[in-house]
A and B are shown apart, each in its own frame.
Chain A
Amino acid sequence: MSSEAGTHDQLFHRDDYAKKMGMWLFLFTEVLLFGGLFIVYAVYRFKNHEAFHEGSEELSTLIGTINTVFLLTSSLTVALAITAIQKGRSKRAINLIMVTLVLAFAFLVNKYFEWNVKFEHGLFPGMEHYKMLSNGEAQFFNLYFLMTGLHGIHVIVGGILLLIIAEGIKRGNINQGNYIYLENAGLYWHLVDVIWIYLFPLFYLIT
């Protein structure tokens, strides 16, 4: 056993570059996962131009804008957290991650109220009002729920990752000399942000 451990240390070395490359590859898969939905969006928007316009009138640009500000700011705080840990300021890094999580939570609360209004208006698939929509408008709301829903799941996953990382920093496992996990979680968080940057105009702004 001890000789095995010895050989292990001799043959393996920590490779942060490999971990980062792995994360980037994973992000490619995420982009393509959403890519499928973007293709469907493009096709149905092309087919139902008017209906998509009417659908987007139902969404509140104000709430969307506020959420965009939340997410963009949270990307900033994650980036700052990485800088903080590079400089050895662990406490500050934890605080910045907490700010990120608060912003993410605010985003989700906002989203919750937004979806709730749709439910009250009966706009979810299968509900009263939804059934009376034209096919095109129904497709708009299908895609709205699918895409913002999948994005919301990613916000939750990203938040959990950051929470685990914050715990790691607290215990000292993630520190000035070894912060690749925070960097990777940051990359993931930026991806969540970037996808929202496309979702926001597609659903709220384009008329």
Chain B
Amino acid sequence: MAAISVPKEYVNFFDIKKGIASWIFTHDHKRIALLYFYSIVSFFLVAFCLGLLMRLELIAPGRTIMGPQMYNQVFTLHGVIMIFLFIIPGIPAIFGNFILPMTIGAPDVAFPKVNLISFYLYLIGGALALSTLLYGDGPADTGWTFYAPYSVKTGTNVTVAVLAAFILGFSSILTGLNFIVTMHQMRAPGMGWMKMPLFPWALYATAWIQVLATPVIGITLLMIIAERTLGVGLFDPALGGDPVLYQHLFWIYSHPAVYIMVLPAMGIVSEIIPVFAKKSIFGYKVIVYSSLAIAFIGYFVWGHHMFTSGMSAEARIIFSVLTFFVAIPSAIKVFNWISTLYKGSIDIKTPLLYALAFIFLFTIGGLTGLVVGALATDIHVHDTYFVVGHFHFVMFGGAGFAFLGALHFWYPKIWGRMYNMKRANIGFAIFIVGFLILYFPMLVLGIMGMPRRYYDYLPQFTVPNEISTVGSWILAIGLIVIIYNLIAGRKGPKVSHNPWGSVTLDWTHTQSPPTTFNFEEIPEVTRGPYDYSDYQASDEQI
């Protein structure tokens, strides 16, 4: 692979300008990515603490630290923040913004100003969501789904929460729109569509979902606001409205949104694995098509959230069959990652551990997904802790672990320094053990029949709940180790521009940290994205 074309002496994007104004009015995709990073991580920590509080409440039957109303508000705020403020924007807005232009050989995204606007919309939405804590009857108590007619009737601050979600949706749309145009127009010369790395491909599929699904939730949430402020009764059965219609409209967006959360995570795994197997990815084209297939099929499966809401038998069967179809491209990806590792020269570093954890946890999440996707079994586990366990395996075990994997993978690129890898591995080990102890009992509790979204439970559910709560503490300790290690890593040893020995443009042709426009001149791409055929390890690697 051609050596880096940037001279050794250079000014990176941190040092080129100083001062607050150079950050809050920046058009640099990397600085915007970091603005996103610090905001998203802050919101994540708030919601993480809310999750710990919920687990603490559930350590014993009856009231432990909070009553039913407060519990309802806590799990709603936990869900709203985690979904709208952490997982949906997380990987695209941080790593997509930072890495996408560099990995396709572009100096920035197509619309840098729109990128900044989208960040501020995110911030306004986040502030509104948190502001519901401060006035009136407190945050919404409806669950993050805002199901009508309860969301229309409750006295809590649903209107503001819904408005926040609407604004966050707008931010998400602008990010997706920006990425689509960037990938269409700004790929480096020679980089045909089928030479584009897989993380951009995953973002491309994601961006189309963001653009084509988000407006539907936008209008649905506006209808909820109209209901609450004007009393129009669109979803109120007493006024001839149809609450099931609300559920349809909500899930028409919110199921595809699940793929907004997990597709970029899959893209990250596809980036990490070839680097640490030093081998071309197995079945590049199939992974590309499977991303597009997941995005496409994902539009037609929303009904599986409503198997018990009142739909015709035919509709339920069709939605169930379509749901099973999504498993096919997802499984294809898993097989391809494992085939990539086969006979690779595997180098187990922290990012690879996260990628492997993704495969393991996502497989559990995916298989339990089939249990809830099948009509007969869903009737038994619907609205139980089985569902809670399932989506935490997919969302947290999938997208969450991929997020941390991406952070450990691109950390040296972003800050030009390396964290302590041994400590990172210890943090990872505690984290995944905590994760399994926290969420696996939920699957068991669900099979036993414990319903979700209650602050209380019957005595026979006590032991698994205790185990689960202890798991949440272990998880928290793991997270503290990870965060401490990453902060300490800012003073760690400096690294070369390509410490992992990757062959994609973001590593081979940019400095760590990169310069403001990433490249001195736009590189010419002549080979596939994961071509390790003449790879030679350099002594600058770690």
Q: Which residues of A contact B (CB under 8 A)?
A: 4, 7-8, 10-12, 15, 17-19, 21-22, 25-26, 28-37, 39-40, 43-44, 47-48, 125-126, 134-136, 138-139, 142-143, 145-146, 150
Knowing A17-B185, A126-B231, A142-B232, the reply to whether A43 touches B215 (Cβ < 8 A) is: no
Measured between beta carbons, the chain A residues less than 8 angstroms from B173 are 26, 29
B396 → A minimal CB distance (Å)? 29
Contact A33 B110 (CB under 8 A): no
Residue numbers in A under 8 Å from B184 (CB-CB) = 18, 21
| Bound-complex Cα distance A30 to B249 (A) | 16
- B216, B226, B242, B520: the one within 8 Å of A43 (CB): B242
Per-residue interface assignment for chain B, residues 95 to 125, with 1 indicating a CB less than 8 Å from any chain A CB and 0 otherwise:
0000000000001101100100000000000
Check B181–A25 contact: CB distance below 8 A: yes
Chain B 303-321 per-residue mask, 1 if CB under 8 angstroms from chain A, else 0: 0000000000000000000
Say yes or no: A139-B231 contact (C-beta < 8 A), given A4-B516, A18-B110, A25-B211.
Answer: no
The answer to whether A135 touches B185 (Cβ under 8 A) is no
Residues of A within 8 A of B239 (CB): 135, 138-139
Structural contact, A139 and B241, CB atoms closer than 8 A: yes
User: Separation in Å of the B470 CB from the closest CB of chain A?
Assistant: 44
Q: List 15 A-B contacts (CB under 8 A).
A: A8-B107, A15-B110, A19-B111, A21-B181, A22-B177, A28-B211, A29-B177, A29-B212, A29-B215, A32-B215, A32-B219, A40-B245, A44-B240, A48-B240, A134-B240
Complex partner residue of A25 from B177, B231, B249, CB under 8 angstroms: B177
Which 10 pairs across A and B sit closest by C-beta, in order of nearness?
A135-B240, A36-B219, A32-B215, A11-B107, A33-B215, A142-B232, A18-B185, A29-B215, A25-B177, A125-B230
Chain B nearest CB, measured from A2 CB (Å): 12
Q: Would you call B517 an interface residue if the criterion is a C-beta within 8 Å of the partner chain's C-beta atoms?
A: yes
Contacts of A26 in B (CB 8 A): 173, 177
Cα A10 to Cα B517 in complex, Å, equals 10
* Pair A33/B181 contact, Cβ less than 8 Å: no
Residues of A within 8 Å of B216, CB to CB, are 32-33, 35-36
Judging by beta carbons under 8 Å apart, are B108 and A12 in contact?
Answer: yes
Report A-chain residues with C-beta under 8 Å of the C-beta of B213.
32
- CB A44 to nearest CB in B, in angstroms, measures 8
Which of A12, A34, A36, A138 contacts B249, CB < 8 Å?
A36
Report whether B180 and A142 are in contact in the complex, using a CB–CB cutoff of 8 Å.
no
Please determine whether B520 and A125 come into contact, CB atoms closer than 8 angstroms: no
Since A21-B185, A142-B226 are in contact, a sample of 15 more A-B pairs with Cβ atoms closer than 8 Å, ordered by chain A residue number, is A11-B519, A11-B522, A17-B185, A18-B110, A18-B111, A18-B181, A25-B177, A25-B180, A35-B216, A36-B215, A48-B240, A126-B231, A135-B240, A138-B233, A139-B234
Pair B110/A136 contact, Cβ less than 8 Å: no
Q: How far is the CB of B535 from chain A (nearest CB, A)?
A: 29
Q: Kindly state whether residue B485 has any CB partner on chain A within 8 Å.
A: no
CB-nearest residue of chain B to A22: B181
The winner among A8, A15, A40, A143 for most chain B CB atoms within 10 A is A40
Are the C-beta atoms of B240 and A136 separated by less than 8 Å? yes
Q: Output the least CB separation between B178 and chain A (Å).
A: 8
Q: Is the CB of B521 within 8 A of A33?
A: no
Chain B residue total in the interface (Cβ 8 A)? 43
CB distance from B517 to the nearest CB of A (A): 5
Residues of A within 8 A of B110 (CB): 15, 18, 22
Give the residues from 215 to 235 in chain B that come closer than 8 angstroms, CB to CB, to chain A.
215-216, 218-220, 222-223, 226, 230-234
- Asked if B517 and A28 make an inter-chain contact with CB atoms under 8 angstroms apart, the answer reads no
B16 touches A125 (CB 8 A): no
CA A39 to CA B253, docked complex, whole Å:
14
**Cβ–Cβ < 8 Å partners of A142 in chain B:** 226, 232-234
Known: A18-B184, A22-B111, A33-B215. A146 touches B241 (CB 8 A): no
Given A4-B16, A21-B184, A28-B211, does the pair A40, B234 have CB atoms closer than 8 Å? yes
Are B181 and A8 within 8 A (Cβ)?
A: no
Report the bound CA distance from A32 to B185 in whole Å. 24
When distances are taken between beta carbons in the complex, the residues of chain A under 8 Å from B230 are 125-126
Nearest-neighbor residue (CB-CB) of A139 within chain B: B240
Q: Which residue on A lies nearest to B216, using beta carbons?
A: A36
CA distance A37 to B249 in the complex (A): 10
User: In the complex, A30 Cα to B216 Cα: how many Å?
Assistant: 10
Q: In chain B between 186 and 214, which residues have their CB closer than 8 angstroms to a CB of chain A?
A: 186, 211-214
Q: Which chain A residue shows the least CB distance to B236?
A: A135
Question: CB distance B107 to A12 under 8 Å?
Answer: yes
Closest to A134 in B: B240
Please determine whether B517 and A40 come into contact, CB atoms closer than 8 angstroms.
Answer: no
- In the assembly, what is the distance between CA of A117 and CA of B4, in Å? 71
Q: A32-B212, A125-B231, A125-B232 are in contact. Are A10 and B219 (CB under 8 A)?
A: no
- For A143, list chain B residues within 8 Å (CB): 234
Contacts of A47 in B (CB 8 A): 240, 242
Whole-angstrom distance between the alpha carbons of A11 and B253 in the complex? 38
B514 smallest CB distance to A (angstroms): 12
> What A residues does B211 contact at CB under 8 A?
25, 28-29
Given A21-B184, A22-B111, A43-B245; A33-B218 close (CB under 8 Å): yes
A15: nearest chain-B partner, CB-CB: B185
Provide the bound-state CA to CA distance between A10 and B108, in Å. 13
Complex Cα distance A201/B507, Å? 57
For residue B519, which residues in chain A have a CB less than 8 angstroms away from its CB?
11
Complex CA distance for A143 and B245, rounded to whole angstroms: 15
Partner of A7, one of B185, B218, B220, B520: B520
Q: How far is the CA of A39 from the CA of B249 in the complex (A)?
A: 9
Nearest A residue to B210 via CB reads A29
Q: Which residues of A contact B226 (CB under 8 A)?
A: 142, 146
Smallest CB separation, B455 vs chain A (Å): 34
In the bound complex, residues from chain A placing their C-beta under 8 Å from that of B240 are: 44, 47-48, 134-136, 138-139
Which B residues are in CB contact (< 8 Å) with A25? 177, 180-181, 211
Residue of A nearest to B235 (CB): A40
Docked Cα-Cα span, A10 to B233, in Å, equals 57
Bound: A85/B253 CA distance, A: 40
Q: Whole-angstrom distance from the CB of B322 to the nearest CB of chain A?
A: 19
Min CB distance, B483 to chain A, in Å? 34
- Collect the chain A residues with CB atoms within 8 Å of residue B215's CB: 29-33, 35-36
Contact residues in A for B242 (Cβ distance below 8 Å):
43-44, 47
Q: Do the beta carbons of B219 and A28 come within 8 Å of each other? A: no
